[in-house]
Amino acid sequence: MATALTRLAVWASGTGSNAQNLIQAFKNHPNIRVVLVVTNNPDAPVVAKAAALKVPVLLLGPQSWKDGRELLQQLKGYAVDALVLAGFLRKIPDYLLDAYPERIVNLHPSLLPDFGGKGMYGMHVHRAVLDSGQRYSGITIHLVDREYDTGPVLAQYRCDILAGDTPQSLADRIHALEHAHYPDVVASWVEGWTGT
């Protein structure tokens, strides 16, 4: 008997390198597929990356985001089972948390609980880590709850802070960790609740 396919929507607001990585990682996976990319930024490079990989893109307008009913209908139309945040820069509203309980995962570019919370994303995180004098940083993959960056942690991976590091050089190593680990953790997470 064939195993049902778990259908993911990847959410991104920027360049989309993690979205692209996830799409490619699951392209030939027997049980998991990225079926939709969701963005709030029509000019984001992720739009072109998704199109090149033949994955539909859903652009969030302000009204559909605020109201939620249309967005939920669209996600239902794609039969989306779970949401995977990959550089999506908005707080997830309660209606999505209610519609996808424990089915929304996020990637954060620090070792939570350090350097998390409102306004802590991208280069803001890397600058704060370097300014603090930390000896290492890393990534946290966690479930999304009603607060910023406080949901249950699925996995963390770390890297050393090197002498002479800049926010950009640290960001480059953090991106390498993200690309190396996010697809595998997402796959394990899906397998944990689908039993595949």
Helix (H) or strand (E) holding 106: strand 104-108
CA atoms within 13 A on the CB side of 194: 18
Q: Where does the pLDDT of residue 3 fall: very low under 50, low under 70, confident under 90, or very high at 90 and above? A: low
Ordered by start, the domain boundaries in the chain are: 6-194
CATH code of domain 6-194: 3.40.50.170
pLDDT of 27 higher than 90: yes
**From the candidates 108, 126, 175, 181, which is the catalytic residue?**
108
Report how far residue 115's alpha carbon sits from residue 122's, in angstroms, rounded to the nearest whole number.
11
Q: Scanning the structure block, which residue is given the tokens 């000896």?
A: 135
Q: Is 179 a catalytic residue?
A: no
- Mean pLDDT of the chain, nearest integer: 94
Tell me, what DSSP letter sits at residue 113? Answer: T
- pLDDT tens-place string over residues 57-89: 999 988 878 889 999 999 999 999 999 999 998
- pLDDT tens-place string over residues 133-167: 999 999 999 999 999 999 999 999 999 999 999 99
Q: Where does the pLDDT of residue 195 fall: very low under 50, low under 70, confident under 90, or very high at 90 and above? A: confident
